[in-house]
Amino acid sequence: MPSPTRFLVLAALLVSATAIVPPGHQGLPHQTPTDITHPTPDNAVIVDTANQVDQKTAPPVDTPPNAAVAPTLVTAVDGTITNTTVADVASTSRRRRHHQIARKFGRDPGDGLAKRQAGKFEKVFDGLAAGQHDASIQGTAYLTYTVVNNATYNVQGCLDWCSTIKGCVFVNVYYEFNNYLLDFVFGEKSNLKCAAYGDLHTAAEKLNFGGQASYPQVGNETVPLTYITQSSGWGLDSLVDPDTPDGYELVFGPTGGANNAPGYMGFSFIDKYDVDACALLCNGRGVDPNGGGCAYFNIWRAVVDGVPTTYTCSMYYLVADESTAVNYGQGPLVVTLSRGYARKSALIDGGFEGYTACDDFCLTESYANWVGTSPSGGTFDASIFFFQAYAHTGHGSALLGSAFGIDGEAGSLTPAQPLQTDKGANYVVQCFMSSAFSGPQIEAAAKVDILWNGERVGGTSGFTEYAFVQASVVATGSDKLVFVGGSAPVWTFIDDCKVYKV
């Protein structure tokens, strides 16, 4: 028999529950969702950071030729200058081994060495005459360099080599004299350099005049300094169209405008135009408490005073489109090569917006995209609502627990069709869930399980307003996702669900 104190608590709960108008009768939740102001980019911070960062480089005098292309680097995050790998930045949500990232974003010999670039190389600028000191390119998106036979000014050899380097759209051809390693150490014994870049450069960027001491000091003899001659540039018409990253789809681009859209999560600068790197940064961006995980990124190139300066990955929890690509730059900074990519969800209609049986308030146990199931004797223990007051965003949401308060059974909610996924790939299930309808005391007993092919992979419990919930899963190729929970008057609403490949 319950103690007097326990009896009073149970009685209080019973009185509270009977005073609650259930969701099925359009009862008002204990706490209604507040209006969310979705942030937009602070373009002044991006411009200010672009004026501080220096991503321009040239082949070092002490590095051997034919080095592997280095992994893409992150040079700034949300206005803070840094110099780290994409993998390290993205590991805030999912850690991967460094060598895996290096292989993905560097030169990959297993990919037939590299994809040959389409198009024909044309001369961008001439070098100075043979007897004059010249300068090589000091520019963005440097990849690697080689040397070719220097018996002649072997431009074609450089161009043929560039076409084997993934992402190479420009090559700087020049002689480098007084480089001890080129003259005596490296096996090629040639001083005719071919420097590969992933961006197009002009003669205005010929800023590397040499001047380094490469020869060893012998006694008091003067050490000759390196110098450069006959520096010419050869490039394609434009940057090569990138392949769409795995798990994404191209929304627009390239255009001359960056997105200025709601749902902004921040930005990173990277040292080359690398859509795969942006995708990884989006996947690992972390979570916005109101908007959830990164759902979209905008990559674009900043050109300052006519010179490529940096490459921006702007990330959003809302999917944008070309209509908001209206940031064309500020002052001397011009936006170029802007593309938008949306993350693909394996879950159809995760926001329950496909249920449109009314204009104001209605509910159903099932419709074309979702199926709600009650146990034997249960009624509307899993349902879908058209009612803005219950939704996290939009007008649709799902409910676990008897919508009309008829029973205390748990319901099951599942997509109408198995999810079409890539077998063996990692995915993440993301949703917003709210167990607040009946107030903190009653909803303290709330519990929802996320089942993936019959196995529990995550869930939520206790009183909470709309909060982000996620679970990591491995796909089989035809996966069944189920949400199980609720026990009226303990109700849980679910909205804005995604199943993203990671």
Would you give the DSSP letter of residue 332?
Answer: T
Same domain? For 352 and 338 the reply is no
Look at residue 153 and tell me whether its pLDDT is greater than 50.
Answer: yes
Same domain? For 336 and 418 the reply is no
- Whether 71 maps to a domain, the answer reads no
Would you give the DSSP letter of residue 456?
Answer: E
Question: Would you tell me how many other CB atoms lie within 10 Å of the CB of residue 131?
Answer: 7
Residue 13: predicted pLDDT: 43
- Whether 1 maps to a domain, the answer reads no
CB 319 within 8 A of CB 261: no
Same domain? For 400 and 461 the reply is yes
In the chain, the number of structural domains is 3
**At which of 235, 262, 289 does a domain end?**
235
Look at residue 493 and tell me whether its pLDDT is greater than 70.
Answer: yes
Would you give the DSSP letter of residue 276?
Answer: H
Mean pLDDT value across residues 471-475 = 97
Same domain? For 319 and 356 the reply is no
Give the whole-angstrom CA distance, residue 168 versus residue 154.
18
Mean pLDDT value across residues 426-448 = 96
Same domain? For 434 and 489 the reply is yes
Give the DSSP per-residue string, 150-193.
Answer: TTS--HHHHHHHHTTSTT--EEEEEEEES-HIIIIISTT---EE
**At which of 216, 235, 254 does a domain end?**
235
The model's pTM is 0.88
- Whether 27 maps to a domain, the answer reads no
User: 89-135, pLDDT tens digit by residue?
Assistant: 887 544 433 333 333 333 333 333 334 455 689 999 999 999 899 99
Share of the chain above pLDDT 90, in %: 80
Question: When comparing pLDDT for 435 and 85, which is higher?
Answer: 435
Same domain? For 316 and 419 the reply is no
- Whether 98 maps to a domain, the answer reads no
User: 170-202, pLDDT tens digit by residue?
Assistant: 999 999 999 999 999 998 999 999 999 999 999
Tokens of 161: 């080599």
Same domain? For 293 and 338 the reply is yes
Residue 119: predicted pLDDT: 62
Look at residue 143 and tell me whether its pLDDT is greater than 70.
Answer: yes
Residue 219: predicted pLDDT: 78
Same domain? For 360 and 491 the reply is yes
Give the whole-angstrom CA distance, residue 312 versus residue 17.
53
Same domain? For 281 and 220 the reply is no
Residue 90: predicted pLDDT: 81
Q: Containing domain of residue 420, as a range?
A: 348-501
- Whether 81 maps to a domain, the answer reads no
SS3 for 203?
helix
Tokens of 164: 């084997």
Same domain? For 464 and 489 the reply is yes
Mean pLDDT value across residues 267-287 = 95
Same domain? For 485 and 358 the reply is yes
**At which of 191, 211, 235 does a domain end?**
235
Residue 215: predicted pLDDT: 87
Residue 9: predicted pLDDT: 35
CA distances from 495 to 108, 143, 160, 313, 434 (A): 41, 45, 54, 28, 9
- Whether 79 maps to a domain, the answer reads no
- Whether 187 maps to a domain, the answer reads yes
Write down the mean pLDDT value for the chain: 89
- Whether 197 maps to a domain, the answer reads yes
**What CATH number corresponds to the domain at position 388?**
2.60.120.260
User: 210-245, pLDDT tens digit by residue?
Assistant: 999 988 888 788 888 999 999 999 999 888 899 999
Same domain? For 302 and 430 the reply is no
